[in-house]
Structure formats: C-alpha cells, structure tokens
Chains A and B, each alone.
Chain A
Amino acid sequence: MWAPMAGLSPRLTLAAFPGAARLCLWRAGAARWKGVPARNRLESKRYILSPDLAETMVPFLLRNDGCDLILEINPGPGILTRALLQRGARVIALESDKTFIPHLESLGKKLGGKLHVLHCDFFKLDPRSFGVIKPVVNSKLLFQKFGIETLPWSKGIPLKVVGIFPTKNEKKMIWKVLHDIYSCTSIYRYGRVELNFFFNELESQRMMANPLNPNLYYALSVLWQVAYDVKLLHTEPWSSFDMCSQSGQREKPESKESLEQQTQQNLCLIQLTPHKDLFSQHLTSVNYDVFFHMTKQCFLKRHGKLIDHLTSLSPIDAMDILKKIRQDKTIKIIDMYPSDFKCLFETIECSKDHTCKWLYDDFMEDVIV
C-alpha cells in the first residue's frame, strides 16, 4: 500500500494520501495531532508516520545485543514507539512538542508501563555554554530519574538513541554531538551510546566519505569516522515523513524549487556506534580539541600537501613527522584516510623531545556550541 506511493509525483501523492493517512492514524489510535498547527514548511517537523517503516527499523534497534533500552527523540504520533514496545523494548520518549504528550502517555498506559514520556528537547540537552541551565535540560538529572547506569567505554552499549536529526541548525547540532562524544560529556557520560538518526542524504554521504569520493570528503567526515562506526541502514523518501503532505494540509510553498529539492531527497537512517578504541594514550577527552583543530585546518586547503600544512600546525620538523607516519612527502590532504589523521595526531602528540608540540592554543577555538 505504501510502496507504490513513494514513486508518485508530489502532487499525485497529495491527492492519493488523505484517506490512507487517516486510516493509519486510526490504526495507531491517535487523531489529536491533526490539530497541530502547520508551521512554516521548511521548518515543519518530520515524524516517522509509516508503520511499515517502523517495522523495518525495529530489527535494527533490537538485535539481542543485551541493550533493549531505547531513547526515542520526538516520537510525535508514536508509531515507532508502539512497534518497539510491542517487541518488549523499554522506551524513553523525549517529545519537544507539548501537543503529543497526552497521546503518548495514554499509549504508554495501554501498552503496560514500559514507556516513559517526558516533555523535553533532546537537542537542547546540556548546552555547552556552562552557564546556568534549566533543570529540564540537564542530562544528569534526567538519566538519574530513569535509573540509567554508566557502562565503561570498553563494555557494551548502555542506551540506543533513535530519531530524526533536525534540519534547523544542523551543522551546529552535528558539532555538538561530536564535541559530546570526544569529550565524553552529556549522554556519553554513560558509555558508548549508540545513535540511530535519519540524516538527509547529502549529509550522510559526507559522513561516510573518504579519499575514494573526494568531492564529499570533509573535516566532518574524518571526525565522524574516527569516533564512530558509521553504517547506513536504510533509505526512505522524504515524503513519507512529512506530516503536512500525509495529512493533506498543505500551505503554499515559499518557493517551488526548495520544496522540490526537499521532496526529492531521501532521508538515510545511519547507525553510529562509538569505536571501542576511540580513546588511546594520546587521543583523550582532554586534548581532542587539538585533534579537531588539526583536522579543520588541514581541510581548509583540501588539495594542499600535508607537508605544507604541517608547518602551521606544529613546530616539529615536518619531514620528521612524515617519516614517522610513513607517508610520502607528496601526500595530499585529500588522499589521507580518517585513520591516517588519527595516526598523524598521535604521532605528533607522542613525540618526546619536544616541549611544544602544537602551535594551537586554547583561545583559538570557541568550543561553545
């Protein structure tokens, strides 16, 4: 019933959907969210609306690896929540939109108490601005409440997070997640938390890029891949997440192109499992910012040679470093794999004879995201 729809043009889909959407809503037992005011199209929230998609996702999340605690971000109508609960998972739902809360709560009651619902925005948890924060966005208090235990980094996965990555402030959010994992703060205080997020297609291609697809290869690709095992699980067309097109309400798009661009894009479900060996003797949660800086500076001139970059990264002799990491002096930034960057960093960091290893200084970065 869903499959052929995906291929239809937006307009046709619209015409075909109202009935189906309502049907699936009744099945899910929720009609309230129809009352949610439609926002600006580009900012409109996306939710997992298709039960089939939910069914596809469940095996990825529950795979008998000893962790059945799922943190679902903005479940909205709760279609995935329902599927997860039915398979016996424990779910904590963090919903930022108040309208959905009563519905989710009733869903929890119906399905036997394994669901905790909380009105809270996951992406505003633990802001990095060290100032006074609202208690509700303090992950420490939050996790205490649910009795989530800390697992050592080398051990298993304490918690799985699933949701759709926001398009608004996307870059900022990506940096926040990266800072959190490299510094072991926020949710990573509790161990190797696994993330399962829908990203837009371009961003997910960038996440997985390496020298083989140089056009998409960026500093972020390196940082993602050094920290996580990045796995593409599933691709789903954008339209199946859009509440407005699903329910038949539609405002006049601001511009045709942006709408079409967005509708034609897919969302990719990416699984991000933190590497057990992310931290080593030389790359730690104390000095990771130097690693960030090094990577960013290298990618400022992506086609430049490494040897040229080294002179403005470290006062240590560039040839010497190249010899140690066994790289040719003609190697370009674009030719280096993510693991090479980590190796480069550790080599410089462990060089013994130098009292000053980096030209980097703390003030040069504004780490507050």
Chain B
Amino acid sequence: MSALRWGRGAAGLGWALWPAGRPGLLAEEGTLGGLWGCRRSSSASPCEQDRRRDWGHAELLEVLEARVRQLQADNVSEMRAKLLDVARIPEADGSQSPRKVEAGNEGAALGLTSRWAQKLHKEKLVMQKRKQKLEENLQKQARKHQLRVEPQLLNRQLAGWLQRWERSTPRSPWEEQLAQLLQEAPKRLSREEQHDQANRLSKMRYEAQQQRLLAFLECCVLADQLPLAHHVLVMHHSKSRQQRALTLPMYNTLLLGWARKGSFKELVYVFFMMKDAGLAPDLLSYAAALQCMGRLDQDASTIQRCLKQMAQDGLQLQELFTSLPLCKEDKAVLLRAVRKAEPTFLPPQPPLPSFEVNTSPLLKEIYSTDLPASFPKQHLPLETLKDLFRQQLSVEMATIVTVDSVEKAPSLTEEVLQARKTLQELRTRWEAELCLALQQTKAREAQAAREGRPSLFPYLCLLSEGELTQLMLQTLQVLSQQGESLLSLAQELGMRIFNRHVVQRKQLNDEVQALQERYFKYLHLLASDTQVVMSRLPRQHWEALGTTEASQDQPWPLTVVVQLGKQLAEVLVQTVKMPSNLAQLQDTQKLIPVLYHVYSFQSFRQIGILKPHPAFIQLLETAAERTMTFESAEVPMLCPPLPWTSPHSGAFLLSPTKLMRSLEGTIQHQRLLEGCPPTELHGALDALTQLGNCAWRVNGRVLDLVLTIFNAKGCPRLGVPSPASEAPRPSKHRLPANASPERKTELRRELARCLKVAREMHSLRTDALYRLSLAQHLRHRVFWLPHNMDFRGRTYPCPPHFNHLGSDLARALLEFAQGRPLGPHGLNVAKVLEGFISRKVVKQTVMTVVYGVTRYGGRLQIEKRLRELSDFPQEFVWQASHYLVRQVFNSLQEMFSSTRAIQRWLTESARLIARSGLAVEWVTPLGIPIIQPYHHDSKVSISGGIQSLTFCSSGDTNQKPNTLKQKNGFPPNFIHSLDSSHMMLTALHCYRKGLTFVSVHDCFWTHAADVAVMNQVCREQFVRLHSQPILHDLSRFLVERYCSGPRSTNAQVAKLQEMLLSVPKTGTFDLDQVKHSTYFFS
C-alpha cells in the first residue's frame, strides 16, 4: 500500500507503489532446506540450537527428525517431544565420532554435496541399526514418564504407615484410612509465614508462583487432566523445598477433582499428602471427602464417622451448603451422602434475596414503597422478546459475529477472483499446518508439565485445536500493515481464549437452560403485554426469581494470559508461510514467512512487533473480502441485557462482563465491590440496568446518507472520514540527484507528515467502517446497549464500536426504538449557542483548571486551539498562547479561590495518604466504593521464545502507591465521581417518572417531549446532591479509613488526621440559583 516507504529508488527518493504479484527474487536455498525455513532462527527449540552450533549437526538432525516422524506414526502424537530427546542422546556420546570430524571440516564438506550424500547414506545405515535400540530406549522412557500416582511422603512415620498399608494383603479399606487420617489431622489451617517482611520482592515473586501453580491445577481439573495435576502435585510434594510452596487450596482442588470422579484411592493419597504437609482439612476438604463417599455409595457408618470428625474439628454441617462455591450437581451428591447418615437432614434454604433497601437519603424516593415502582417498560410484546432472547443466545454461543462490510464491493474481475482463490487455498493449508503445530506444542508442554516445569498444557486443552486455529487465523486476518506489538497481541489472544472458555463452560454446566427459564419469567416484567403482581424494579425482580450462583471462573493470572497468547503468536509466526511468488501457487516454490518479528525503538525502549509481509497485505487488499468478524461481546445485544445484580453478573447472557471496567490485572476494584454490603450498590446497579434497558434502532435515513458520503470518499467536514488514499501526497516530481541536503531533509519531513496523516486517516476510517458496518448489520432491528462503569462511576456502553458515545455522526445514527412525537418544547433542543468560537479557545483550559491542569499543559491546550483557527496569524501562536494562559490563570485565581482551597485540601490529603503507603479510597454519595489504581510500576517479564516480554502494571497493590498520581488524580477523580452520582440520580429519578433516559457523561438524552421534565429533575438532583455535606462525609470516611486502629499512634498519621479534619469552607454559591439558570445544562 501507499503507506509503505515512499522514500526509495535510484536516487533514494521518489516512491514506488509496489505492483501486485511482482516476482520476488528467488535465491538458491543452499544447504538451508525448505524444511528449515529461514524464519525459525529465533525459536528456542532444542534442535534449533544445534543448527546454530554447526551445519553438520543440522543436516544430521534433519535425518533424525525424519526418523522420528516415522516413529511418530506408530505412537501417540504426544510422544514426539520425548522422542526428539531420545534421538538426541546418541549424538552426544562418543560413538558418533565421524560426525565430529565432519563438523570440523565444515567448509570443505559444504562444497562436496556428493560426499555428503555418501555420509548421509552411512548415517541412515547406522540409524537403522540403532532403530531397535532406540525403540527400546523409548519404551524405557515411556515407563519412566508414567504419571505418578503414589505420593512420596517426607514424614518418615507417615511414609511407613502408607507403605505398610500398601503392602498389606488384603488391604484394609480406604475409608478406614481416611477416617484415621482425619482423626489425627494437624490443627493447622495454613503454614506460618516463613518469609521476613524485609524481602518484599522475593515474597511477591513467591506468591506469584503459588498463584500460577494453583491456576495450573484448577485448569487441569477443568480440562480433564486430573492425573497430570495429581502427578505435578506429587512431584512438588516429594521435594521439601517445593512442598513449602503448596497451599491448602491446591490440595483441595485435587480433592474436589477426584471426588467428582469418585476415585477414592487418589483422594486418600491427597489426604496423606495434606497430613504430611501439616495442613488441617477445612470445610472444602470435608465436602470433597463426603462427595466421594456419596458417589461411591458408601455405607452410613463411614459417613457418620466422617461427619462426627467434622463436628469435632469445629466445622458446621450447614455451612457445607451455604458457604462453599459448589455447583448444583456437587451439592446434590453431597446431600445424598449426608442424608444417608442423617436421613432427616434438611439443607438450609438458600437465603431469600434480600429485600433490604438502600438507606441513602438521596435514594429515599426511589426505594420508598409508598408508590409502586416505576420504570419504562419495553415496547415489545412477550413473544417477540422471547424470540429475541433466543437469537442473542445463539449469537453468544457462536462467540463470533460475521458482519458484511459497507465498503463498496469490488467488481469481480479475474484478478479479484484469483486473489480470493489463492487466499482460500492458503487458509486451508494453514489450518492443517496450525493444527499440527499446535499438537506439537501441546506435546512439548505436556512433557514440561510431567517434568515439573511450568507449563501451559491444560490451558491449551481448554479449547479444541480447531477453535484455537480459527482464533489465530482471525488474528492474522485483522493485523494491520504496521503490525501490532507482540505484547498487546498476546494479551488479546489470551483474553479471548479465557472468554471463550467461560462461555463454553456455561454451556456444559446446563446453565443455559436455567438462564432461559429465568429470563422468560423476567420478561413478564418488561414486556408491553404482560403484568407482574409485585411492584419491583427490574433488578429486584430478577433477584426474586432465583439465586445468583457465585462466580466460579476466577480470572487467570495476567502472566498466564500473556504467556498463553505469546505461545500461540509464536506458533503463528513459525507456521504460517506463503510462496514467495503469490502469482503462481506451486509446491516447488520457496516458502517465505507471512509474519515477521521486528523491533521498534521508542526512546530507550525496544518493542517487539509482529508485522505481516507486505505481499500478504496486498493479497488481502486485492481479494477485498467484504466480511469482518467481531467477538459477540463487541456487538450490541438483540434482547434486553441481564440486570446487574452483583459486581460480576449482568449485561451479556454468557460472555463475562465486569460491573466496573479496569485494566487487565487490576483486581482491587473488584475486591472492594465484592466486599461492600450489597444494598450499598443498589443505586449503581439499578442505574446501569436501566441505562442498558433502553431499546435502540438505527436511523435508516441518516445511515443511507452517511453511507453515500462514506463510499464517495468521505467528507471530514461532516465527520465522515475519507479513505487513506485521499491523504495528501508529497509533491511528485523527482529530485535531481544533486539536490541540496536541505531540500532532501524537507522532503523527508514532508514524507513523514504525509505518512502520519495517512495513518491517522486510516484509523479514523476503520473506526467509521466498523461503526457503519455494524449499523448496517443492525438496520431494521431493535437492539440494546448494556452499560458498565469505570472506576470513578462514569457509565459507558459495553459494545466498543457501535454506541451513542462519540462524534455527532455516532449519535445521529441512533434513535430510540420507541418513537414519540416531538413535544412543544422540542424546538429548544435544536438551539445552538452563539459566540462559541471565541469561547472555545479558552474553554478547555478554564474547565480543566478545576481538574488541576498546570500552566504548561494550559499553554499547550491554548496553542492547539489557536492553531485550529485558520485566520489566526500562525507566527504569533507562541507569544499569544503564553499571554492567554497567564491571563486565564490570573483571572481564575480570583474567581474560584474557594474552589482552589478545596482542591488544595484534596491534593494534600491524597499526598499524605499515599505517603503513608495506602491508595486513596472513598465512597460516592450513591455508595460506590472507589479506589485509585495508581501504584509504582510492577514489572513482570516472561522470557524465552521469540522475545522476552516485559509488561508494567501500575495497578498492582503490592507496590507502593504512586504519590504523584494519587495526589494529582484525586481532585479530578473525586469530581468525576460526584458527576457520575449526579447522572445516576437523575437517571433513577427520570425512570421513577417513567422517562426514557440515556447519557454520555455530562450530556443527557431523553425524548424531545420529555426534555422539560428531565431538565427539572436534573437541576433538582444537582441541588440535592450538593446540599449534602459531601466534604464532611468524605472527611469522616477518610479519617475512619486511614487514621483508626493500630496505625493511629503514628506521627505521620496524626498529621494526616489533622489535615483531614480541617475541611475547607465551601463557597457562598446559592444552589437555588441553579434551578433558574438558563445555561446550567447546555
């Protein structure tokens, strides 16, 4: 494409758009066989290193590998990696001396290929002779690599016990052993801390390791690799140093896994290990034991003994059913076992959904029971909504949505058809090759797991090879010409695998059926033709229809996500190849890689990038396939979203969505939300649920208009971006060879500028293309935009590409599905403020001063605005911007002195809090707990493979808080959280009055006819919110949070307390004026 380097050519100038299908230079392959493709140089596989050592070995290894492949045919594919190891053993010993001589004479040998052939022949003979030996070796190896079942105990007494009992014939029954084990269990729940606090870094690393191991074991259980998990646990347990890293949840994971399978023997082994490790069984361990007994239909006395022991350990039988995250089936089996021992036992009823009500004075009217609950209903009848649910469900089960692009279809010339055919052939080939490569990778990872090394094996087993392959090919398809950083690509791939896995699990667990039943009942509340007796809000109704199961899918550690994605990216880079000349697909052609791993240097950092071969991009462009693929959670929903009931359940039917969005790896928000009383969140949950319940449709006439402009090269002035081909081009005439260096430099700058513009245009165009294609896809349909919030409580629609957030174009495309005629006040909406341009220059700065913008940033903002004014003399920009920012700051200082005092108080408090080692937290007037995720960067690096990746995360709570960000962030974040509270209050009160309401931060929408009502509600709520003693509440909260408990004796804390208690006076602004101000909301 044109964005390729423009500077090249004989004089190093000018450009060439490179024509399609032009033959590439074919080099002789030399000794570098096609098999070894030049791309694999950076892989770290063992045979690769040998190749680097010398060429002789490479040749030989090729032979060996061919042999291995033959052998492999007789074996399961998983044995391959092992085979390679075995095959390499003979090479290392002394009997292979001829090879070493060859290696020494490398130069000579290279020239004489015939001699090589002879030697190869000889080698083959040797190989054949060795075949027998090799296979024997192999069997030996296989035996050695059998998964371990029996534990090796470190406690001699216990080990002797186990051994005696293993050997005794007839064996005493397992249940006897278990009872005995439980009886003499140590009374310790976890190991004492063996780390000194001083060594914080190594402690963190240690904890990360434990977290990874636990995630590995859990994933093994999910992927049905229980024996492997058991093997790994036994391996770790048998070494005293590694055993110390094992925790009770790890043993419990295994116990539960074996219990579900009804494998009593392995279960007892794990109990042996737990005892050996000195860990006391907890409720979950007992649940596993009982479940296993239930499955094996053990007699009542055994179970009774177990229950008795449990009671002696101080564990409550009832709690088995209330406080454990067990699935329905587990609970049923558990109940069966318990009933056997105690036939009269009744499991405690799941606690009825609490109808406790939020007590915040701001929400009193919303939750008062004096009046029936009121909210806008859907305008569709029950049957239609049911049908829509089925459609949405099938979309989410398919996990991806294919959408036709709105770009003009190309005329189907010979060239286009040929390109499509080529692409199709390539994809078919890649699919097979990727599947094979994945199998090999899995075999390697399985081997690593068996040897006790960290491994991705269970994660790779969660999805089928076919699904993984499809995922990789999709990634390849959307890779932009400039490429993408390996880190973000890996993270995205990893997250997609996780999301897909969650969706699949929900399907397997029969959750779909239950969901459908509950949802249909729920629809009675929303549908236009049904009534519900009880007067409830949608969330309350949903809660009344059943209990929400605890989320069982813990997110994987970020390192695992990235590692998994990186592994797949590596497979992609190493496997996907195309012929060097795409014009003729022949098998004899040399294959070149499609993806390249290159580096980019940005100041002092190096960033690894995966970049597609330009010829491949060209092929994609020629083929012009007009379809695009979206994840199902990126597309608006076809039925009303699930109501938000907890921090992790709501919005999409199956795809996991978080109530509070955050960067991957920051968990403190989720933890805080889960920790706070459920009623506190009601305001936020209801507001978000209602925002998502608004039905939308595409404004067809606007879409038609926009599409016409879009396909006629766009019109940036109207907000329809032009294609990158419309970007300004550098002047075309070639420079003379003797042009001055200065002229060349100018040209370089011009080229750089044009490239930059072209790239920006490309990304804008792509954004619009996604938006319009989705709009076209949803035309004639009703759809819903589920909402969630950021960490300050600001609300956002979840689907990223097509929503009401953004430019005028984005908003114009959407309209409320339930149309209502324009009311008498409708005209006011179209009113435009005048004198806008002159205000615009300084408005941004004035607004951001409140948020703590500095003089420097202010100057830049004004400079930018001034540059945008075409009639402003550009040579005065620098002076003028300086002058203006000085003026703005001076006048603001006078006007908002009390605001500045508040800001100073907030900043200082935040500084002292952060200095005391904690992140700033507060609770919004609506009850949402907020914590600022700004910490010092924690660096995690993942080495090995094509590149070691290092990622920084600023949200790691183990790190000290970043004082600068904490203090500078507090005032703006606090104000945003107030704004969002105001928005939610306005929303809830509008719903109370039956209005449709949506918002984008500080811009509220409703039907034109309802504007007057909304306006009034909006002002009332503003006044009510700010009549609260907001700062005093904040001060009280902060004092309690940071200055109580054992900390309070500290001198630093005393200083903080003093600061927190000196709440500044609020301004003398008469809030009632707001009610009458014309421009309060404009």
Residues of chain A touching chain B, judged by Cβ–Cβ distance below 8 Å, are 130, 132-134, 153, 171, 183-185, 188-189, 279, 281-287, 290, 293, 296-297, 300, 305, 307-308, 311-313, 315-320, 323, 349, 351, 353-367
Q: Would you call B742 an interface residue if the criterion is a C-beta within 8 Å of the partner chain's C-beta atoms?
A: yes
Contact between chains at A365 and B600 (CB < 8 Å):
yes
Closest to B759 in A: A363
Contact between chains at A319 and B611 (CB < 8 Å):
no
Q: Would you call B312 an interface residue if the criterion is a C-beta within 8 Å of the partner chain's C-beta atoms?
A: no
Expressed in whole angstroms, the minimum distance between the Cβ of B24 and any Cβ of chain A is: 7
Q: Would you call B345 an interface residue if the criterion is a C-beta within 8 Å of the partner chain's C-beta atoms?
A: no
Chain A residues with Cβ below 8 Å from B24 are 315-316, 353-354
Closest to B52 in A: A305
B15-33 interface with A by 8 A CB criterion: 16, 18-19, 22-30, 32
Closest to B600 in A: A364
Instruction: Indicate which residue in A134, A349, A366 contacts B603 across the interface (CB closer than 8 Å).
Output: A366
A–B pairs, 18, beta carbons within 8 Å:
A133-B878, A134-B878, A183-B745, A184-B741, A185-B745, A286-B744, A296-B601, A297-B598, A307-B41, A311-B596, A315-B592, A316-B25, A318-B38, A320-B25, A353-B24, A359-B596, A359-B598, A363-B482
Chain A residues with Cβ below 8 Å from B917 are none
Contact between chains at A320 and B8 (CB < 8 Å):
no
Residues of chain B touching chain A, judged by Cβ–Cβ distance below 8 Å, are 3-5, 7-8, 10-13, 16, 18-19, 22-30, 32, 38-39, 41-42, 52, 481-483, 592-593, 596-604, 606, 609, 611, 613-615, 737, 741-742, 744-745, 747-749, 751-752, 755, 759, 863, 877-878, 881
Closest to B42 in A: A308
Contact between chains at A356 and B18 (CB < 8 Å):
yes
> With contacts A286-B13, A313-B598, A353-B24 known, is A362 near B741, CB below 8 A?
no
Closest to B735 in A: A286
A364 to B744: give the CA distance in the assembly, Å. Answer: 21
Chain A residues with Cβ below 8 Å from B755 are 362-363
Expressed in whole angstroms, the minimum distance between the Cβ of B544 and any Cβ of chain A is: 55
Instruction: Indicate which residue in B483, B592, B752, B881 contacts A362 across the interface (CB closer than 8 Å).
Output: B752
> With contacts A315-B613, A363-B482 known, is A355 near B745, CB below 8 A?
no
Chain B residues with Cβ below 8 Å from A361 are 3-5, 481-483, 611
Contact between chains at A188 and B741 (CB < 8 Å):
yes
Chain A residues with Cβ below 8 Å from B601 are 293, 296-297, 364-366
Contact between chains at B742 and A189 (CB < 8 Å):
yes
Contact between chains at A312 and B599 (CB < 8 Å):
yes
Expressed in whole angstroms, the minimum distance between the Cβ of B18 and any Cβ of chain A is: 3
Chain A residues with Cβ below 8 Å from B751 are 286, 362
Chain B residues with Cβ below 8 Å from A283 are 12
Expressed in whole angstroms, the minimum distance between the Cβ of B184 and any Cβ of chain A is: 58
Contact between chains at B742 and A184 (CB < 8 Å):
yes
Closest to B20 in A: A355
> With contacts A132-B863, A312-B598, A363-B755 known, is A355 near B741, CB below 8 A?
no
Chain A residues with Cβ below 8 Å from B4 are 356, 361
Contact between chains at A284 and B752 (CB < 8 Å):
no
Closest to A185 in B: B745
Chain A residues with Cβ below 8 Å from B13 are 284, 286
A282 to B748: give the CA distance in the assembly, Å. Answer: 15
Chain A residues with Cβ below 8 Å from B613 are 315
Instruction: Indicate which residue in B12, B32, B759 contacts A287 across the interface (CB closer than 8 Å).
Output: B12
A283 to B599: give the CA distance in the assembly, Å. Answer: 21
Expressed in whole angstroms, the minimum distance between the Cβ of A189 and any Cβ of chain B is: 6
Expressed in whole angstroms, the minimum distance between the Cβ of B812 and any Cβ of chain A is: 32
Expressed in whole angstroms, the minimum distance between the Cβ of B99 and any Cβ of chain A is: 19
> With contacts A171-B604, A363-B482 known, is A281 near B38, CB below 8 A?
no
Main secondary structure of the interface of A (DSSP, over half): loop
A356 to B26: give the CA distance in the assembly, Å. Answer: 14
Contact between chains at B741 and A153 (CB < 8 Å):
yes
A165 to B878: give the CA distance in the assembly, Å. Answer: 30
Chain A residues with Cβ below 8 Å from B593 are 311
Contact between chains at A132 and B878 (CB < 8 Å):
yes
A134 to B882: give the CA distance in the assembly, Å. Answer: 12
Closest to A353 in B: B25
Expressed in whole angstroms, the minimum distance between the Cβ of B312 and any Cβ of chain A is: 62
Expressed in whole angstroms, the minimum distance between the Cβ of A369 and any Cβ of chain B is: 9
Chain B residues with Cβ below 8 Å from A287 are 5, 7-8, 12
> With contacts A184-B744, A316-B25, A365-B601 known, is A281 near B878, CB below 8 A?
no
Chain B residues with Cβ below 8 Å from A367 are 752
Expressed in whole angstroms, the minimum distance between the Cβ of B136 and any Cβ of chain A is: 38
> With contacts A132-B878, A184-B745 known, is A366 near B8, CB below 8 A?
no
**A153-B741, A312-B596, A356-B18 known, 5 other contacts, Cβ within 8 Å:** A281-B10, A284-B11, A285-B741, A305-B52, A356-B4
Expressed in whole angstroms, the minimum distance between the Cβ of B733 and any Cβ of chain A is: 15
A287 to B10: give the CA distance in the assembly, Å. Answer: 12
> With contacts A285-B748, A356-B615 known, is A319 near B30, CB below 8 A?
yes
Closest to B749 in A: A130
A353 to B25: give the CA distance in the assembly, Å. Answer: 6
Chain B residues with Cβ below 8 Å from A357 are 5, 8
Chain B residues with Cβ below 8 Å from A296 are 599, 601
Contact between chains at B25 and A356 (CB < 8 Å):
no
Closest to A172 in B: B603
Chain B residues with Cβ below 8 Å from A323 are 27
A285 to B743: give the CA distance in the assembly, Å. Answer: 10
Expressed in whole angstroms, the minimum distance between the Cβ of B925 and any Cβ of chain A is: 43
Contact between chains at A315 and B614 (CB < 8 Å):
yes
Instruction: Indicate which residue in A286, A312, A365, A366 contacts B597 across the interface (CB closer than 8 Å).
Output: A312
Expressed in whole angstroms, the minimum distance between the Cβ of B708 and any Cβ of chain A is: 32
A361 to B596: give the CA distance in the assembly, Å. Answer: 13
Instruction: Indicate which residue in B18, B29, B30, B38 contacts A311 across the interface (CB closer than 8 Å).
Output: B38
Contact between chains at B32 and A319 (CB < 8 Å):
yes
Expressed in whole angstroms, the minimum distance between the Cβ of A5 and any Cβ of chain B is: 39
Chain B residues with Cβ below 8 Å from A364 are 482, 598-601, 609
Chain A residues with Cβ below 8 Å from B18 are 355-356
Closest to B17 in A: A355
Chain B residues with Cβ below 8 Å from A362 are 5, 751-752, 755
Expressed in whole angstroms, the minimum distance between the Cβ of B403 and any Cβ of chain A is: 28
A365 to B5: give the CA distance in the assembly, Å. Answer: 13
Contact between chains at A281 and B41 (CB < 8 Å):
no
Closest to A219 in B: B601
A361 to B52: give the CA distance in the assembly, Å. Answer: 29
Contact between chains at A359 and B611 (CB < 8 Å):
yes
> With contacts A300-B606, A308-B42, A312-B597 known, is A282 near B614, CB below 8 A?
no
Chain A residues with Cβ below 8 Å from B23 are 353
Contact between chains at A286 and B596 (CB < 8 Å):
no
Contact between chains at B27 and A286 (CB < 8 Å):
no
Contact between chains at A315 and B12 (CB < 8 Å):
no
Chain B residues with Cβ below 8 Å from A318 are 38
Expressed in whole angstroms, the minimum distance between the Cβ of B11 and any Cβ of chain A is: 7
A363 to B881: give the CA distance in the assembly, Å. Answer: 30
Expressed in whole angstroms, the minimum distance between the Cβ of A185 and any Cβ of chain B is: 5
Expressed in whole angstroms, the minimum distance between the Cβ of A200 and any Cβ of chain B is: 19
Chain B residues with Cβ below 8 Å from A316 are 24-25
A354 to B755: give the CA distance in the assembly, Å. Answer: 21
Closest to B614 in A: A356
Contact between chains at B12 and A286 (CB < 8 Å):
yes
Expressed in whole angstroms, the minimum distance between the Cβ of A151 and any Cβ of chain B is: 11
